[in-house]
């Protein structure tokens, strides 16, 4: 069988999965449910009509021309309104906002000014976390220092774990809130402690909030930038990809203090280039009429509730109850390591999940349940997975340990 680690690259997997005549080890990839791609409703169309129309109108007008390298002002104005509404922060669209083609390049762009070349500056990053969070540090010229979180805490932050890893080389803290892959939210208490830690040690906190639009009703998300003394030392990075299901439009943004933003703006043309003009027009339309996001969030919650009920029938399969997002962090240690279980599910259920190794755990898998616009089609894939676990050679005969 082709290396599952190679297949786990979502872009590669998605590309190959759409080739109906291609097979890996006898598996028809056209029939594999790609529960590993955090692109909502992939591969089905999900663009709201008013968003699509705005992109088309731009292409028919001036969409072929460069936009501002920091993002068109109309978009920055709408982002500032969104930040006030969603994050409770009053920001200036001209002095605090930078737009780019997706959020990924913004991490390196925003972190690089704090990392002295050759100094081995360190970035404290909770684990488990988004795969790229561990790679961004070296790409930006620093060193990633993983900070453990624990399932018994609901993967909340333990400030003493940060303190143990603090050195004179520590410059940044990088967190993802809501967390990806655990789908949990860091508690207000933990973030207040992290804020105090950052202030006391003169650290910058970079917060990845790509999934902030997916927080479930009844769950509280604390905005660390709104805590005392944190507006000037927090870099908030978000995007329209996840919550608005506009991954392909590639619009991300960073919100920071004027002092930080001045540096980001001065080099944006040389590093970020200019975001797509048509994509920005679509983003403006999405931000002005964002009601569709509520329907998406409600859909994710319905899927999560249904899937959790299904997983509860599998003895010895653990998972973290999601508070946001559209993914689950599965503890498959009773069935083998991540690679073994991934290969088993691919073979026996025609579903592909993310191996947890690069996310921070060799005995966990990330299950993305936003795949397909048709909920029943998604749940059908989960049913195949649950059935495969029931048939697994290591499946418990009776009882359930959690």
| Of the candidates 126, 169, 172, the residue with the CA atom closest to the CA atom of residue 150 | 126
Question: Stretch 216-245: mean pLDDT, rounded?
Answer: 97
Question: Stretch 276-298: mean pLDDT, rounded?
Answer: 97
Does position 8 have pLDDT exceeding 70, yes or no? no
Q: Are residues 102 and 166 in the same domain?
A: yes
Q: What's the CA dihedral at 271, 275, 276, 279 to 10 degrees?
A: 150
Label residue 26 by pLDDT band (50, 70, 90).
low
CA distance 84 to 77: 11
In a domain, 109, yes or no: yes
Percent of the chain with pLDDT over 70: 91
Q: What is the span of the domain harbouring residue 313?
A: 4-45+292-390
Does position 20 have pLDDT exceeding 50, yes or no? no
**Cis peptide preceding 11, ω within 30 of 0:** no
Q: Are residues 231 and 193 in the same domain?
A: yes
Q: Are residues 143 and 11 in the same domain?
A: no
Does position 258 have pLDDT exceeding 70, yes or no? yes
Q: Are residues 328 and 368 in the same domain?
A: yes
User: Where residue 183 sits, what CATH number does that domain have?
Assistant: 3.40.640.10
Last residue of a domain, one of 265, 288, 311: 288
Last residue of a domain, one of 241, 259, 288: 288
Q: What's the CA dihedral at 136, 112, 164, 208 to 10 degrees?
A: -60
pLDDT in tens, 45-101: 999 999 999 999 999 998 789 999 999 999 999 999 999 999 999 999 999 999 999
Does position 269 have pLDDT exceeding 70, yes or no? yes
| Backbone φ, ψ for residue 7 (5° rounding) | -70, -25
Does position 10 have pLDDT exceeding 70, yes or no? no
Question: Stretch 136-165: mean pLDDT, rounded?
Answer: 95
How would DSSP label each residue in 135-166?
A: HHHHHHTSEEEEEE--GGGTT---HHHHHHT-
| Pairing of the two strands 143-148 and 122-127 | parallel
CA distance 170 to 129: 19
For residue 171, the SS3 value is strand
Q: Are residues 155 and 20 in the same domain?
A: no
In the block, tokens 């509730």 appear at 305
| Of the candidates 204, 192, 189, the residue with the CA atom closest to the CA atom of residue 154 | 189
Number of domains in the chain: 2
Q: Which two tokens stand for residue 302?
A: 């319905």
């Amino acid at each position: 069988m082709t290396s599952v680690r190679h297949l786990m690259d979502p872009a590669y997997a998605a590309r190959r999965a759409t080739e109906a005549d291609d097979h890996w080890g006898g598996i028809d990839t056209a029939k594999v449910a790609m529960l590993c791609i955090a692109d909502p409703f992939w591969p089905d169309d999900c663009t709201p009509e008013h968003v699509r129309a705005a992109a088309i109108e731009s292409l028919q007008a001036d969409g072929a021309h460069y936009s501002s390298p920091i993002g068109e002002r109309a978009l920055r104005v709408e982002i500032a309104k969104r930040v006030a509404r969603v994050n409770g922060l009053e920001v200036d669209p001209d002095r605090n906002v930078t737009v780019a083609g997706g959020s990924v390049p913004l991490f390196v762009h925003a972190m690089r000014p704090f990392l002295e070349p050759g100094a081995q500056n360190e970035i404290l990053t909770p684990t488990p976390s988004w795969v790229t969070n561990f790679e961004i540090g070296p790409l930006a010229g620093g060193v990633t220092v993983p900070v453990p979180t624990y399932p018994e805490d609901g993967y909340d932050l333990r400030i003493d774990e940060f303190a143990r890893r603090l050195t004179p080389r520590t410059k940044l803290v990088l967190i993802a809130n809501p967390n990806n892959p655990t789908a949990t939210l860091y508690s207000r208490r933990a973030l207040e402690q992290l804020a105090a830690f950052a202030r006391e040690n003169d650290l910058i906190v970079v917060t990845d909030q790509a999934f902030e639009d997916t927080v479930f009703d009844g769950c509280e998300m604390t905005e660390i930038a709104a805590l005392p003394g944190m507006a000037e030392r927090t870099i908030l990075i978000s995007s329209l990809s996840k919550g608005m299901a506009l991954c392909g439009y590639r619009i991300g943004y960073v919100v920071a203090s004027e002092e930080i933003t001045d540096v980001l703006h001065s080099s944006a043309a040389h590093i970020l280039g200019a975001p797509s003009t048509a994509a920005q027009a679509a983003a403006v339309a999405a931000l002005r009429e964002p009601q569709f996001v509520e329907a998406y969030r409600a859909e994710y919650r319905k899927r999560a509730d249904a899937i959790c009920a299904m997983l509860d029938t599998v003895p010895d399969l653990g998972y973290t109850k999601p508070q946001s997002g559209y993914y689950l962090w599965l503890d498959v240690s009773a069935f083998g390591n991540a690679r073994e279980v991934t290969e088993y599910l691919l073979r026996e259920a025609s579903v592909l999940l993310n191996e947890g190794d690069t996310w921070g755990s060799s005995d966990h898998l990330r299950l993305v349940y936003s795949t397909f616009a048709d909920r029943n089609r998604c749940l059908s894939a989960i049913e195949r997975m649950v059935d495969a676990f029931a048939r697994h050679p290591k499946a418990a005969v009776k009882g359930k340990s959690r």
